[in-house]
Amino acid sequence: MGMSIMSRVEQLFINEDFTVDHDRLSGLVDHLGHTKAGDVLARAMDELSDRLAQLERAWMDGDVEDVVRRARGLGGIAEQMGMGNLSKVARDVQNTGLAGDGAALAATVARLLRMGEGSMSVVCELRNSAG
């Protein structure tokens, strides 16, 4: 007689802005040279990936204090790499964690993980297109 539950579920499509400060990356290349800058970026990407995984593990363990601490470190690396949006979301994770808002923290952690993966993909694409 009525709709099934599944027919009433809407799908949410999330469109994030994965941006990188191209001027900052160009400045890195100008300062260090192409090869060294590539090495620095590769190490930074590994570090960012590790920190995202550690933050996700802390979240899964329910350790809000560790999530906040890891978001702070991740935001610093993101800022240095010219990932301003990622750094902002890391600050949002810190703020919601410190405020004790569980629902907001869940949403911002999920967003941080999405943006981290997307931002790293943008940098990898830039590195690959640069040669």
- Please give the CATH number for the structural domain made up of 32-126: 1.20.120
Q: What is the mean pLDDT of residues 61-88?
A: 92
> What's residue 66's pLDDT?
97
Q: What is the pLDDT of residues 21-39, one digit of tens each?
A: 667 777 777 777 878 877 8
| Percent of all residues in the chain with a pLDDT value above 70, rounded to a whole number | 76
> How many other CB atoms are there within 10 angstroms of residue 97's CB atom?
23
Which residues, 6 or more positions from 84, have their beta carbon under 8 angstroms from its beta carbon?
Answer: 19, 21, 78
Q: For residue 120, which of 85, 73, 70, 72 has the smallest C-alpha distance?
A: 85
Give the pLDDT band (50/70/90) at residue 103.
Answer: very high
Its pTM stands at 0.77
